[in-house]
Every structure is written in structure tokens, then in C-alpha cells.
């Protein structure tokens, strides 16, 4: 049986088991708890952890191998400029498509979403009363509006659930930092870091590893023969990592089946129904964006969409289930080189960079989520925001930046969404509302991120084909 058939079968079995448990099982019963524990052990603690184990050495070895195998340093410039242009253009297009989808579908105005607004209004009424009782001031007067909003934010902070606490503190840190602080703390510092620290961090500091690997690779090329042992060492390390990837792909169906079973068994169906239109907007935007990527692959990459999709499907499915582009990276490299015939020179260099900075699905999702939240909650006590053209433009720009800043790990897009929310003045506690369906949407956005990275490699490979020999 082919690997993707096994993966699909495992997904089907996981879906059936998870659905059966969700509908008929009691989540507090010992057998249910034990079953979910076992699924998580196999799916997350063994399969995803094993994929993550090889990311840091793989990124280092793969980028160095890519650079030293290019015919010249100038060729690195050609590949680099083309791939970054592609990343930027496709990410911007993704946000644009998402904005159009959410503005047309208007998920925040649908009846199903109104129950969420009504619940929120009821909570705000209690806050108004508490504020008035505590301070003796009118919460709705212009004079006290700021203090009232701070009061709500503080109350919400106290109610943040246990599972969300660490995400919440990371999101909150965005509120007090300006763009320059962010550039310094989120880009400059990670880039210029001791490479051993970058490799040892969990998750690894990909930006730091990429930058160090690029310097090392370019230096090896410029030094030439005396640096050959180092270049050869990393080329061999890269081959070894790809061998480990093949082993991991063999066990992937078991991991994936368990991940799906655990996800579906514990999925909150009521939250899914309330946010169904929002999910529809994200997923339709993603579907349109995939068509756009396929058109680019066929026009610039001269590859038919079916060839591309069938070559990349193992990586696409693994990204869908692991919700981490970084964990999928070894498989993405394998599929693009072995099945799509992209030169290793291109894929080894571009794919680790793409997994770290090019996230079309994440960018699209961030724009849709913030507009949905404004549609749904706009006009409430602490959301005095109207969706003007200017605000939409701010969302467009910050969603692109937030996707670049998101780590290639599960739910990272939800955290960096705080950047977009702060830019338009949406209180961060509203983001917690979409958390209920975040995992599900992360599956769609991560697989789109990986698809976009692979498409970039195919296109640049085709455009640079004659310079590569």
C-alpha cells in the first residue's frame, strides 16, 4: 500500500473512532481519559516529538548544503531575490483573498454567531454594574470610558483559563511594545544569537539557525578547498537527516491516526456550531488561495496542478495533522526533491526559510479572524471600532507581518494575531473566543503554508534551471 493511502486510511479510522467517542463517550470516564492519553502518547509524544527532534540539525545542514552546492554566491542572490519576492507576493495575496472572503461572507453578522455576541453582552452588563459599584462612576461616560475598558481587560485577564495562560502572557507582551521594540526583540535578537543556543531551544530558534547557516555556507564557498571538510560534513549530515525522515514517514500513519482520533474525540461541537461561519470564511479563503498557488505553479513552474498536488500530498497531509510547518519540513524537503524533481540546491535552501517566514495560510487566517471579531463585537462597550478602509489596510499590513513573525509550530498564528488586534485597538481577550476552533483551522492554514513553500521551490527551480548546472 502506498504511504498516502495508509495515511488516508489512518485518518479515516481516527475520524471514525474520534467521532464515536465524541458522540457516545463520557469524557470524564476512565476509559475515555485513558484512550485520549494513549492517542496523545503515540501521536504527540512519539510521532510529532520525533519529527521535531530532527528539525534543528536539519535546518542547519540543509541550508549549508543548499548554499555550498550552488554554482556561485551570485546564484544565491538570484535564488534568494526570487524566492523572497514570491514569499512576499503570495503572502500579500493570501491576506487580500481572506479579506475579500470575510467581507463577502460576513460571518460576524450571521445568526449563529449572534449567540456569542449575546453571551458577551450579558457579561459586559455585569462588568458595568461592578465598575459602577466599585468606582461610583458612569462606565459609559466619555470621561470614564478609558478606565472602564481597563477594568474590563483586567477582569478578563483574571478569567483566562488554565490552558491559555502561557499564550495569554505572550500575547499581552505585544500590547506594550512598539514596532521598533518588536524588530529588535523578535527579529534582530533571535538572528544574532549563539548558534548552539538557537539549536538547543525548544522550539529551535529557526531565524538564528538560518542566519548562522547562511553565513557559514557563504564563508565555505568563499574559502573554497580548505573549507571542503566542513561543507562535506554538513552535506553528509543532511543526507542522514533525510534518511531519518524516511523512517519517520513509515510510522506516520500510526501517529496521524492517533492525532485525529484525539482531536475529534475532544472537539467541542457547540463551539464549532457557533463559529461555523467564521470557519467557513477561513476555509473558503484558503481554498481560493490554493487555486491561486496552483495557477502560479502551472504558469511559472510549468507543472500541472495534479502533478504538483500528488507529489506534495504526503507533506500536505502530515502538515494538516501535525499543525506544524517545522515538524513537516523534513517531509516537505523529501517530497519536493524526490517527487517534484526540484533540485536539492533549491529545496535545501528555500524550504527551511519558507517554513520559517512564508505562511500564507496564517496570514489569511489572521486577517479573517480580526475582521470577524470586529464584525461580531464592534460597538460593544470595549470595542468602539468601525471597520473603515484605513483599519482594513492596517489589518492587511499587520497580518502580513504577524505571519512572518509566527513560529512554525501549532497555534503560533493565534499568538501573533495579538499584533494585528493591538494595531486596530481590539482588546486581546476577544482573541480567546476564536481559540475554541483554532486547532481545526490551524490544520488548514499549516497545510496551506507548506503547500506555498513547496510551490515556491518548484517555481524558482524552473526559473533558475539553466543557471543551476
Which residue stretch of 207-215, 330-338, 403-411, 452-460 sits at the interface with ligand ASP (rule: CB under 6 A)?
403-411
Region binding ligand ASP by CB under 6 A among candidate stretches 228-236, 238-246, 425-433, 443-451: 443-451
Measuring CA to CA, which residue among 410, 420, 373, 438 is closest to residue 109? 373
Which residue matches cell numbers 450579558?
122
Closest residue to bound ligand ASP by CB: 413
- Helices 55-69 and 325-334 meet at what angle, rounded to 10? 40
Number of residues that bind ligand ASP (CB under 6 A): 16
- 193/323 with CB nearer ligand ASP: 323
Asked if 206 contacts 357 with a C-beta cutoff of 8 angstroms, the reply is no
Closest CA to 264 of 37, 439, 19, 36: 19
The residue among 420, 441, 443 whose CA lies nearest residue 431 is 420
C-alpha cell at 177: 511594545
Binding of ligand ASP by 362 (CB under 6 A):
yes
Beta carbons within 10 angstroms of residue 49's beta carbon? 12
Q: Compute the distance between CA of residue 197 and CA of residue 193 in angstroms, rounded to an integer.
A: 7
Closer of 124 and 408 to ligand ASP (Cβ): 408
Report the residue number, 409 or 457, with the smaller CB distance to ligand ASP: 409
Is 282 among the residues that bind ligand ASP (CB under 6 A)? no
- The answer to whether 264 contacts ligand ASP (rule: CB under 6 A) is no
Q: Which residues between 28 and 67 bind ligand ASP (CB under 6 A)?
A: none
> Which window, 123-131, 222-230, 368-376, 407-415, contacts ligand ASP (CB under 6 A)?
407-415
Q: How far is the CB of 447 from ligand ASP (least distance, A)?
A: 9
Question: Under rule CB under 6 A, which residues in 323-342 are in contact with ligand ASP?
Answer: 323-325
Q: Which is nearer to ligand ASP, 375 or 448 (CB)?
A: 448
Residue 446 in the binding site for ligand ASP (CB under 6 A) = yes
Question: End-to-end distance of the chain based on CA atoms, in angstroms?
Answer: 36
**CB closer to ligand ASP, 198 vs 362:** 362
Using the rule CB under 6 A, is 412 a contact of ligand ASP? yes
Q: Which stretch binds ligand ASP (CB under 6 A): 220-228, 258-266, 344-352, 445-453?
A: 445-453
Q: What is the closest distance, in whole angstroms, from the C-beta atom of residue 77 to ligand ASP in the complex?
A: 27
Residue 293 within binding range of ligand ASP, rule CB under 6 A: no
Among 61, 124, 213, 408, binds ligand ASP (CB under 6 A): 408
Q: Is 356 in the site for ligand ASP (CB under 6 A)?
A: no
Residues in 174-213 at the binding interface with ligand ASP, rule: CB under 6 A: none
Minimum CB–partner distance for residue 365 and ligand ASP (Å) = 6
Using CB under 6 A as the binding rule, whether residue 351 contacts ligand ASP is answered as no
Owner of C-alpha cell 483573498: 97
Applying CB under 6 A, which residues contact ligand ASP?
323-325, 359, 362, 406, 408-413, 442, 445-446, 449
Amino acid at each position: 500500500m502506498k504511504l498516502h493511502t495508509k495515511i488516508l486510511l489512518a485518518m479515516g479510522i481516527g475520524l471514525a473512532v474520534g467521532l464515536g467517542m465524541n458522540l457516545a463517550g463520557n469524557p470524564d470516564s476512565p476509559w475515555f481519559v485513558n484512550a485520549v492519553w494513549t492517542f496523545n502518547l503515540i501521536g504527540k509524544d512519539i510521532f510529532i516529538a520525533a519529527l521535531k527532534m530532527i528539525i534543528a540539525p536539519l535546518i542547519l545542514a540543509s541550508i549549508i548544503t543548499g548554499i555550498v552546492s550552488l554554482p556561485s554566491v551570485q546564484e544565491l542572490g538570484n535564488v534568494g531575490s526570487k524566492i523572497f519576492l514570491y514569499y512576499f507576493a503570495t503572502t500579500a495575496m493570501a491576506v487580500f483573498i481572506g479579506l475579500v472572503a470575510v467581507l463577502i461572507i460576513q460571518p460576524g453578522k450571521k445568526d449563529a454567531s449572534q449567540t456569542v455576541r449575546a453571551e458577551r453582552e450579558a457579561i459586559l452588563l455585569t462588568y458595568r454594574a461592578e465598575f459602577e459599584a466599585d468606582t461610583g462612576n458612569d462606565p459609559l461616560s466619555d470621561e470614564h470610558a478609558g478606565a472602564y475598558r481597563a477594568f474590563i481587560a483586567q477582569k478578563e485577564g483574571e478569567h483566562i483559563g488554565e490552558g491559555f495562560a502561557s499564550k495569554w502572557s505572550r500575547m499581552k507582551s505585544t500590547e506594550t511594545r512598539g514596532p521598533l521594540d518588536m524588530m529588535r526583540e523578535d527579529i534582530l535578537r533571535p538572528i544574532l544569537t549563539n548558534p548552539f543556543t538557537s539549536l538547543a531551544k525548544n522550539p529551535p530558534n529557526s531565524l538564528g539557525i538560518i542566519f548562522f547557516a547562511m553565513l557559514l555556507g557563504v564563508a565555505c564557498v568563499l574559502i573554497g578547498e580548505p573549507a571542503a571538510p566542513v561543507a562535506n560534513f554538513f552535506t553528509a549530515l543532511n543526507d542522514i537527516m533525510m534518511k531519518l525522515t524516511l523512517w519517520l514517514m513509515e510510522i506516520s500513519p500510526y501517529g496521524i491516526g492517533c492525532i485525529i482520533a484525539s482531536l475529534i474525540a475532544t472537539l467541542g461541537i457547540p463551539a464549532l456550531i457557533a463559529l461555523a461561519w467564521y470557519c467557513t470564511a477561513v476555509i473558503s479563503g484558503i481554498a481560493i488561495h490554493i487555486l491561486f498557488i496552483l495557477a502560479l505553479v502551472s504558469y511559472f513552474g510549468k507543472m500541472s496542478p495534479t502533478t504538483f498536488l500528488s507529489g506534495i500530498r504526503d507533506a500536505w497531509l502530515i502538515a494538516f495533522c501535525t499543525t506544524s510547518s517545522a515538524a513537516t519540513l523534513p517531509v516537505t524537503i523529501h517530497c519536493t526533491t524526490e517527487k517534484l524533481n526540484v533540485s536539492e540546491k533549491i529545496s535545501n535552501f528555500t524550504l527551511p526559510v519558507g517554513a520559517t517566514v512564508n505562511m500564507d495560510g496564517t496570514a489569511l487566517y489572521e486577517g479573517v479572524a480580526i475582521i470577524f471579531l470586529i464584525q461580531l463585537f464592534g460597538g460593544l462597550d470595549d470595542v468602539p471600532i468601525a471597520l473603515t478602509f484605513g483599519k482594513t489596510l492596517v489589518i492587511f499590513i499587520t497580518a502580513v507581518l504577524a505571519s512572518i513573525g509566527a513560529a512554525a509550530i501549532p497555534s503560533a498564528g493565534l499568538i501573533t494575531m495579538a499584533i494585528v488586534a493591538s494595531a486596530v485597538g481590539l482588546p486581546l481577550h476577544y482573541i480567546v473566543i476564536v481559540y475554541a476552533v483554532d486547532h481545526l483551522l490551524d490544520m488548514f492554514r499549516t497545510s496551506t503554508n507548506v503547500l506555498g513553500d513547496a510551490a515556491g521551490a518548484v517555481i524558482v527551480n524552473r526559473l533558475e534551471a539553466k543557471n543551476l548546472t
